[in-house]
Structure 1
Amino acid sequence: MVHEPPTHTVERSLRATLGAKVIAGVDEVGRGAWAGPVTVCAAVTGLRRPPDGLTDSKLLTVKRRNELSGVLTGWVNSFALGHASPEEIDELGMTAALRLAATRALDLLPVRPDAVILDGKHDYLGGPWRVRTVIKGDRSCVAVAAASVIAKVRRDAMMAELGVDYAPFGFEANAGYPSPVHRAALEELGPTPLHRLSWAYLDTLPRWQHLKKVRETVEAGETGEQLGFDF
Structure 2
Amino acid sequence: MQADLFDTVMPAGLIAGVDEAGRGPLAGPVYAAAVILPETGIPDGLNDSKKLTARQRDAMAEEIRRTAVAWCIAQASVEEIDTLNILQATFLAMRRACEGLTVRPGQILIDGNRVPAGLMAPAQAIVKGDSKVKAISAASILAKTARDADCERLHDLYPDYGFDQHKGYGTALHLARLQQHGPCLAHRRSFAPVRDRMLTKGA
TM-score (norm 1): 0.80
User: Within 1, Cα distance between the matches of 2:195 and 2:79?
Assistant: 18
CA contact (8 A) 1:27 1:118 kept: yes
Secondary structure at the counterpart of residue 172 of structure 1? helix
Distance 1:139 1:98, change over 3 A: same
- Whole-angstrom distance in 1 between the partners of 2:168 and 2:93: 18
CA displacement 1:190-216 (0-9 Å, x = unmatched): 1111110000113543514x55xxxxx
1:96 aligns with 2:88: yes
Q: Which residue of 2 aligns with 1:137?
A: 129
Q: Deviations over 1:116-156 (max 9, x none)?
A: 10001122345553111111110110100000111101110
Letter in 2 for 1:64: Q
1:7 maps to: 5
Aligned with 1:207 (options 192, 200, 203): 200
The amino acid of 2:21's aligned partner reads V
CA drift at 1:187: 0.3
Query: Retained in 1: the 8 A contact 2:189–2:195?
Result: no
Give me the whole-angstrom Cα distance separating, in 2, the residues matched to 1:163 and 1:203.
Answer: 21
Aligned equivalents of 2:117, 2:49: Cα separation in 1: 21
CA distance in 1, matches of 2:72, 2:119: 19
- Which sections of structure 2, spanning at least 5 residues, go unmatched? none
Of residues 146, 149, 158 in structure 2, which corresponds to 1:157? Answer: 149
Alignment of 1:100-179 (within 5 A): 100-125=92-117, 127-179=119-171
Amino acid in structure 2 at the alignment position of 1:207 = T
**1:221 — aligned with what?**
none
* TM-score, normalising length: structure 2: 0.90
Identity over the aligned pairs, expressed in percent? 35
Query: Could you say what the CA RMSD is over the residues aligned between the two structures, in angstroms?
Result: 2.0
Q: How many residues align?
A: 200
Match of 1:182 among 169, 174, 177: 174
5+ residue gaps, structure 1: 16-20, 212-231
Give 2:67's aligned residue: 75
